[in-house]
Every structure is written in C-alpha cells, then in structure tokens.
Amino acid sequence: MKIKVGIIGVTGYTGGELLRLLINHPHVEIKKATSRSNSGNDVTQVHPHLDKEISLIEDEMDIEKFITGLDVVFLALPHGKSAPLVKEIYNKNVRVIDLGADFRLKNLDEYKAWYEVDHSCPELVSESVYGLPEIYKEKIKEKAIIANPGCYPTSVILGLAPLVAEKIINLDNIVIDSKSGITGAGKTLTQQTHYPDMNDNLLAYKVGSHRHTPEIEQELSILGNTNLKINFTPHLIPMNRGILSTIYTNANIALTNKELEKVYVEYYQDCPFIRLRNKNNLPQTKWVQGSNYCDIAAIFDERTERIIILSTIDNLVKGASGQAIQNMNLMFGLDETAGLKFPGLYP
C-alpha cells in the first residue's frame, strides 16, 4: 500500500524538486498539490520539465478538504505561513513535514527575534523534531511533525557534528564561510538574484544577521551540551545549485589527519548519505549536484593547529526536498534511502 502524499506550495523550486523526486519513489502516490499562484492548473504549467512524468491539477486551498485521504503533507512555504496549517493537519492525524522555518527553533523568543513574527501555535513546537536524520533518526521515526532543516545548517551541522559531539574542538571559536547557488534564494526575483547583477559576481549577504544562524547554534549547542555562538557568513555565487561550507575551528587535542578521519568514519558509519573525502580528494558541489549526498572532508592544519572542514550538498536535495523525503521514509518505517539512492549529475 502506497503512502498518499500532498504538497502545499508546489510552485517553488523545492516544490518542484519534491515532485521530481517523488514521481519515481516506489512507495509513494502523489495525490494532491496546491499553491497560491497556480491552483486550478496542472503542476506542469509551472514545472514543464516534468511534462509526461506527471499530470496533476492543483487544488484550491481548502485545507480540510485538501488533507482528506492523505497520509502526509509536505509544506514548502515562507516562514510564518506553515504553523497554522501544521496545526490543522496535525489535529486530523495526518503527518506533516515542514520545509519552512516555523518549527526549527525551539526557543520561541529566538524565533520572534530572528523572524520578526509571533509563533501562531507554540504548543506544537515541542511535538516536532528537527529533521536531520544523521542525528535524530530514532526521534524522526516517532514524530508526526518534522521541521526540515535549512540548507546552510544542513551542510554546517553535518560538517561539525562529530567534532562537537566528541569535544575535539574549541566551541568558542567557530568560523563558517558558506557559498550557495542562486536557487537557495527562492524564485522571487531580487536585485541580488537578477541575472545582470549576479552573473560574473560573488557577494556576501546578511553578514552577522542570517536567519539560519540561530538554527546552527541551537543544534551545535545541543550536541556540545553548552551554549555556543558562531560566526556565519553566507555568499551567493553565480550557479544554480549547490552549497559549499568551509568551516574553521581550533583543535582541543593534538591529532593527526588519520585520527581525524577516523572520528568521522565512526560517527557516520550508519549514515548512507554521508560520503567522506580527504585533503587529496576535496568535496566539490559538482559531485553532489542532483543527489541527496553530503560530502565532507576534515583536515588538520599542523602549522596553525586548526581544523578546516569542507562540507557540500545540493541545496535543493539534501538541503531541502531530498532530506524531506528521507524524513518521510523514516516516519513510515521505510529504508531511509528509498527513492533517493541515485548519484549526482556529472558533469
């Protein structure tokens, strides 16, 4: 019996990627989809690359009618828009995976400070789990509300998790430099994402104020059993997909590169979507494009006694829709790789 799926907010990049990945999922039937801008029309009108792969007329946005007959709903909406829908979906005993930010932060004061809105259903925050399978696999299996992580946090947290959990680094000095393709900014056009402005350009943005900062700090603080702060600077680069995070931190102990690699091998030994690289085989965005893999390399710089971590993902797959499907698989007792076990696109 197949899992009956609905998608709310299907017209964006993540909505389209959900469709692309779910079409060939062996255990899924895509039953319904809806959005503000394309209701009443076929989803292929906004995702023409999926023509002849799927034909599905988008429903009008009546949430009670929409969730009838579904097992799980994916929400691909801006912050503040998901929470009230999650409440209605959850109360009807339908599982929900929110690709937005509404359930990622557990501290509601932090949520209000960074997102500048009050949370509309704070009572459900404790009922949700942060959907990073490499860390919360068992909790994801038990929960009906999944807060799908942000793209930058996925690359950063996965890059740092073994070192923070094993207390190998100084948690007071973590510097993160992340670079993302333009799809990470969404479909809405801005001056920063307009082709003449972005082409042949590289720019930093929201320095010291990016909304993924508290998400990264929250999860690393839990892993390290302390309250830590980070320096996080995101950049946009003129390509469609991909994130490469370069992370700098100081080691607490003397170690060799072989010992450092062993830490990562042991920590991620049961994680099918983590691929470990090394200083002679450094991660590249091209190697993960279109896939659900996260490629990581950790290098110990003996001269400065710093550890440099490189972590790369496809922001639309492991950074969004692929990870959401990985979470769905765990929620329904499937192999977490179901519908996702394929390589990246190269070249």
As annotated, the active-site residues are 151
Residue 175 backbone dihedrals phi, psi, to 5 degrees = -120, 125
Six token digits for residue 148: 């799908």
Six token digits for residue 92: 């009807």
DSSP 8-state secondary structure symbol assigned to residue 255: -
How large is the angle between the packed helices 151-165 and 133-142, nearest 10 degrees?
Answer: 100
DSSP 8-state secondary structure symbol assigned to residue 185: G
Task: Compute CA distances 296 → 136, 155, 157, 286, whole Å.
Answer: 19, 9, 11, 14
- 3-state helix vs strand vs coil in the chain, percent to 5: 35, 20, 45
Residue 186 and residue 13 in contact, taking contact as beta carbons nearer than 8 Å: yes
Residue 132 and residue 157 in contact, taking contact as beta carbons nearer than 8 Å: yes
Peptide bond into 149 cis (omega under 30): no
DSSP 106-123: S-HHHHHHHHSS--S-GG
From CA 55, how far away is CA 93, in angstroms rounded? 27
Which among 262, 260, 263, 245 has a CA at the least distance from the CA of 301?
260
Residue that the structure tokens 């996702």 belong to: 340
3-state DSSP call for residue 153? Answer: helix
Give the bridge partners for 246, in sequence order. 177, 310
**Dihedral angle of Cα 208, 251, 310, 184, to the nearest 10 degrees:** -20
